[in-house]
Chains A and B, each alone.
Chain A
Amino acid sequence: MIARLLIRIVALAAMAYLVLPLVVIIGASLTETSYLAFPPEGLTLKWFGVLFEDPSYVSAFVTSTLLALAATAVAIVLAVPASLALARYVFAGREGVSALLLSPLVLPYVVLGAALLQYGSAIGMARSFEALLVGHVIIVMPFVLRSVLPLLTPEQRALEEASMDLGAGPLATFFLVVLPQIRGGIVSGGLLAFISSWINVELSIFNTTAALNTIPVKMFNYVQYTIDPTIAAVSAITIVVAALVIILLDLLMGLDMLSEPHRS
């Protein structure tokens, strides 16, 4: 009983620890003072207004959003055929291909960012939107792959074969039979991909410039020198975006993964 109580206390303290910084940031973004204050002194949304009047923030928001959308789209286009190949075919080097395509999940992003800068300088692509994009595609593709692969089951395969037997061509089969069945995986993998690109600093920081900047990198450079309510306002926006994506994911696939231990 004492053990149970102790666990309860530690767990609730841990939850408080996890939530506190987010609450502080959102609270601090609403302060009327020109310095950061928590609890906020007065309530105002003026710092959000300041952001949207600052062209450098607006352009960083646009860059980040375009980058995340483009990286997600390219990643889906590459990951779906790759998952079909991995799920449907037995071939020499299959393990190697899957390990290669999933390896960016465990790669230190600082290393890949540095590599892309060095490689980009060699082929004349460094510090450009393209350089950012290819790096982001590499790091987000595994998320799509991992959520699509488990959906390509033998049962799904049977439907595919039925469609072919009934005379549908491979493309018709793909768009009419396979795609509707893996749509859920593409959407949830795509959301994970989008958010991982949207929040990335370590990879982007090598290939961004003052003129071509993403929101997290801009914040990183800013926070090292100044802390003020505008930065809290940007942070608050990213927290809200994260929360929205998670609620979407929860509705789509249910995040209640830690549900009751099942009994056989």
Chain B
Amino acid sequence: MTASRTTLALLLFAPLAFFAAFFLAPMAVVAISSVTTSDGALTAAHYARVLLDQYHWDVLWVTFRIALATTAICVLVGFPLAWYLVRIVRWRAWRRACVILIIVPLFTSNIVRSFGWMVLLGRTGLVNQGLMGLGLTERPIRFLGTETGILIGLVYILVPFVVLSVGNALAKIDTVYEDASADLGVGPARTFWFVTLPLCLPGAISGAIMVFALAVSAYVTPALLSGGQITVFSMLIFQQYSTVFDFHYGAALSVTLLMLTLVLVSIAGRIGDGGRRTA
């Protein structure tokens, strides 16, 4: 018993020490400086500044609006794509190629992916050329520096998460349930609505919440596609640490973003677990 306790301590010592030194300690420094002044006295002023300033509420509202729209579009685009890959594609090589193509963007930095859209969405970019060629617009539409531009970039980056989580859920559904429903004379639309959808809903919801959390904390994509015209929450944090050098106030902003993300992720975890238990 003592021998196994020693082994356990030996196994866990290095990883826990590393996390304590370079993860918990830095986060503690941030948490402490968010509630202290530069002299070390306790204060709630930084949080008051975050919560009472109308500008922050505007930025939060923009961040939330973009994240919500991103999530909705990701689900609307990702669900059919997942369905197509799991249920419609019969040719394995094509499905495999599609899965690889969906993952390649995930393995490419946000910079590269956003940069692609900077090129595509410019005044003379391919998208405007296409729209004008089709006669859908007379003059080039301005995408860069607008919420639409950020939205296109964020959906692009986050839609693979929905496809993979919905796809995994769909692939796990035993088709006997749907067959049974069809045998009992239920039409395909009702079978989808009452049988298939509830079975893959946990996957879809946890995917959607992940997307929302990632969209709320996104920095690179909004920074590149906003052209300095639109500010989202993570940009405020970066400003405090890189140009304003107000670490206390920056810390309060960081803790706010962290709390927001943790709440969302734990909700997603609950839903994911619930799905597993009932499945």
Q: Do the two chains belong together in a single complex?
A: yes
Give residues in A with beta carbon < 8 Å to B.
Answer: 3-4, 6-8, 10-12, 14-15, 17-22, 24-25, 28, 36, 38, 77-79, 81-82, 84-85, 89, 91, 97, 100-101, 104, 106-112, 114-120, 122, 134-135, 137-138, 141, 170, 195, 198-202, 205-206, 216, 219-220, 223-224, 227, 231-232, 235, 238-239, 242-243, 245-247, 250, 255-264
Question: Known contacts A17-B156, A261-B175; is A25 also within 8 Å of B77 by CB?
Answer: no
Q: Is the CB of A239 within 8 A of B241?
A: no
Nearest chain B residue, comparing its CB with the CB of A255: B99
Known: A11-B84, A255-B99. A223 touches B118 (CB 8 A): yes
Partner of A15, one of B11, B24, B98, B262: B98
Residues of A within 8 A of B18 (CB): 78, 134, 137-138
Question: Least Cβ distance of B72 to chain A in Å?
Answer: 15
Q: Tell yes or no: B204 within 8 A of A by CB.
A: no
- Cβ–Cβ < 8 Å partners of B109 in chain A: 198-201, 216, 219, 238
With an 8 Å Cβ cutoff, the count of chain B residues facing the other chain is 94
Distance from A117 Cβ to chain B, minimum over Cβ atoms (Å):
6
A242–B171 alpha-carbon span in the complex (Å) = 26
28 A–B contacts, CB within 8 A, in A order: A18-B156, A21-B116, A21-B120, A97-B16, A109-B217, A110-B217, A110-B219, A111-B237, A114-B251, A115-B26, A119-B25, A119-B29, A135-B22, A137-B18, A199-B107, A199-B110, A227-B118, A231-B115, A235-B108, A235-B115, A255-B99, A257-B99, A258-B167, A258-B170, A260-B86, A261-B171, A263-B174, A264-B174
The one of B10, B12, B170, B223 that contacts A261, using a Cβ cutoff of 8 Å: B170
Instruction: Give the nearest-CB partner of A247 in chain B.
Output: B100
A136 to B201, CA, bound (A): 34
Q: Are B168 and A257 in contact (CB under 8 A)?
A: yes
Task: Determine the chain B residues whose CB is within 8 A of the CB of A216 once the complex forms.
Answer: 109-111
Q: Are A219 and B112 in contact (CB under 8 A)?
A: yes
Q: What distance in Å separates the Cβ of B165 from its nearest Cβ neighbour in chain A?
A: 11
User: B19 to chain A: which residues have CB within 8 Å?
Assistant: 100-101, 138
Do B88 and A7 touch (CB < 8 A)?
Answer: yes
Q: How far is the CA of A242 from the CA of B112 in the complex (A)?
A: 11
A138 in contact with B15 given A24-B120, A219-B111 (CB within 8 Å): no
User: Which residues of chain A are near B160, meaning CB under 8 Å?
Assistant: 18
Residues of B within 8 A of A104 (CB): 23
**Pair A115/B27 contact, Cβ less than 8 Å:** yes
Measured CA separation A84–B4 after assembly (Å): 12
Chain B residues near A18: list those with CB within 8 A. 101-102, 105, 156, 159-160
Chain B contact residues, majority secondary structure:
helix
Q: Does B150 contact A (CB under 8 A)?
A: no
Among candidates B84, B156, B164, B257, residue contacting A110 with C-beta atoms closer than 8 Å: B257
Most A CB within 10 A of own CB, among B14, B18, B111, B258:
B111
A118 contacts B77, CB within 8 Å?
no
Other-chain residue from A28, A134, A224 in contact with B223 (beta carbon distance below 8 A) = A224
A224's nearest neighbour on chain B, judged by CB, is B224
